Amino acid sequence: MSAEDDPSTGGALRVRRRPARPRAAVLVLHGGRAESRGTARPWQLAALRMHPFLRALEAATGRDDVFLGQVRYRSRGWNGAAAEPLRDTRRALAELRGLVGDVPVVLLGHSLGGRAALRAADADRVRGVVALAPWCPPGEPVAQLRGRDVLVLHGDRDRVTDPAESAAYVVRARAAGARAGMLLVANGDHAMLRHPTRWHRTATAAVGHLLAPETAPCEPFVRALAAAEPPVLRTARRTPSGPAPGPVREPGC
């Protein structure tokens, strides 16, 4: 095991791409477990699930001006009041600021990582959060989201985290002053293995929109912000008279 793979020997920020003059930054947060003191490793499934998102972000964001990094957890679990991934996220944000200065930051997190990203949204320069199948238990705080842009993307067949709890969280976030919305992925699961392209495309477009709202529109994100109930992302069905049309391409995604 190299020192780079050992969270105890390094910082909380893993650099994926560091431009010479970054104008913005994206941090990616993977999932974990409710309770575990085991060491988080980059080869665990929770971390590997975010690799396609990292590749999509590398391709879609400005290679010359957008910093791309990952939060490195010390432990796999949230571990109750310790909220260890949240502490690691705050450490990563502080390290990021030391590297790139006061640039706008977007957080992209899955499951436990979505919870940590939402909790850390009050950090200086965080512009918004894209949360994938986040863990949003009842009573989760929302005051820190005031003035932030938030998109929750949740599969309607998720059996690990509850899309209904995410929807309730978004309602409370709006009441607290966040610009928050939610999209449901039809037939989507927690691991994001069903319809992966839809997850990757929509999340990447939403991050791009948060980085540059004027020049990178994402129509589903805008629609989610305006909708009272979460819009559903679906795949077009095949018709007997023609070829399979493939996934529906939402404007901006």
pLDDT in tens, 165-186: 999 999 999 999 999 999 999 9
Mean pLDDT (the chain) is 90
Q: Which pLDDT tens digit goes with each residue over 15-38? A: 999 999 999 999 999 999 999 999
Spatial strand order of the sheet with 126-132 comes to 13-17, 66-71, 24-29, 105-110, 126-132, 149-155, 179-185, 232-233
Q: What is the pTM of this model?
A: 0.90
Instruction: Give mean pLDDT, residues 136-153.
Output: 97
Residue 251 has pLDDT above 50, yes or no: no
Instruction: Give mean pLDDT, residues 123-148.
Output: 97
Residue 3 has pLDDT above 80, yes or no: no
Tell me how far apart the alpha carbons of residues 41 and 35 are, in angstroms, rounded to a whole number: 16
Tell me what pLDDT residue 62 has.
Answer: 84
- Was domain 3-233 assigned CATH 3.40.50.1820? yes
Q: Which residue has the tokens 């049309």?
A: 245
Tell me what pLDDT residue 214 has.
Answer: 82
The residue ranking higher by pLDDT, 216 or 47, is: 47
Percent of the chain with pLDDT over 90: 84
Tell me what pLDDT residue 237 has.
Answer: 56
pLDDT-based confidence at residue 236 (cuts at 50, 70, 90): low
Tell me what pLDDT residue 9 has.
Answer: 44
Domain ranges across the chain: 3-233
Sequence-distant (≥ 6) Cβ neighbours of residue 174 within 8 angstroms: 180
Tell me what pLDDT residue 224 has.
Answer: 96
